[in-house]
Amino acid sequence: MPLPPGPSVTLRGFRPADVPVVAAIVAEALHEHYDPSLYASLSAEWPEGFLLAANAHEVPVGFLLGVSQVEKEARVLMFAVERQHRAQGVGALLMANFLERCRGRGFRRVTLEVRVSNATAIRFYTRYHFSVVDLLRAYYSDGENGYQMARDLP
Ligand SMILES: CC(C)(COP(=O)(O)OP(=O)(O)OC[C@H]1O[C@@H](n2cnc3c(N)ncnc32)[C@H](O)[C@@H]1OP(=O)(O)O)[C@@H](O)C(=O)NCCC(=O)NCCS
């Protein structure tokens, strides 16, 4: 019998107990290390903007953390899927759901930043109708340039 399409994960909101797993995904996928308190404080203003994809054991395998710092706009601050769970549609599930939540909140635009070398993520975002709107020189701590990408929400 063919497997149903889509990843075998469920979406849910962030819980404080998720911090260690989320931090591990951030370290592996984004090579960043933040103070553990950052996640709860970022989620406080718009809890629905912090989406986790969890496996059958409720363990997060990917997440998208969006914030809203500009009126009617969302910004994807962090987005990552554990390496062994990539290319299975988890990222697509997170992004599609996030964009729906943005529309539900009446946002008109979504922005994000990405390393110019991150071809995989740029291709992913392009598929979701993001396009490059700015070059951010030496945006990253190691000096790499970033692209700001954005899309409107009709
Ligand atoms: C960007 C990222 C979050 C995407 O997550 P993902 O779960 O791999 O995303 P998806 O599986 O939805 O899509 C990725 C690819 O897998 C393909 N895919 C999706 N489901 C698939 C399936 N069932 N079988 C085969 N391929 C599949 C998609 O078509 C897509 O292909 P393409 O990008 O070559 O066109 C992930 O690559 C990641 O964590 N990267 C490291 C961190 C990072 O760079 N984050 C962004 C920082 S700005």
Closest residue (by CA) to atom 24 of ligand 1? 88
Q: What pLDDT was estimated at residue 87?
A: 95
pLDDT 10s digits, 61-107: 999 999 999 999 999 999 999 999 999 999 999 999 999 999 999 99
Range of 19's domain?
10-108
Does residue 95 form part of some domain?
Answer: yes
- Confirm whether pTM is higher than 0.85: yes
Number of CB atoms found within 10 A of residue 63's CB: 26
Domain with 46 in it: what CATH number?
3.40.630.30
Examine residue 136 and state whether it is found in any structural domain, yes or no: no
Total of domains in the chain: 1
Q: How far is the CA of 89 from the centre of ligand 1 (A)?
A: 6
Ligand 1 atom 19, closest CA: 89
Instruction: Please report whether residue 3 resides in a domain.
Output: no
In a domain, 92, yes or no: yes
In a domain, 123, yes or no: no
Quick check: is 117 in a domain? Answer: no
Q: Which residue has the higher pLDDT, 1 or 125?
A: 125
Pocket test residue of 8, 22, 26, 81 for ligand 1, highest count of atoms within 8 A of CB: 81
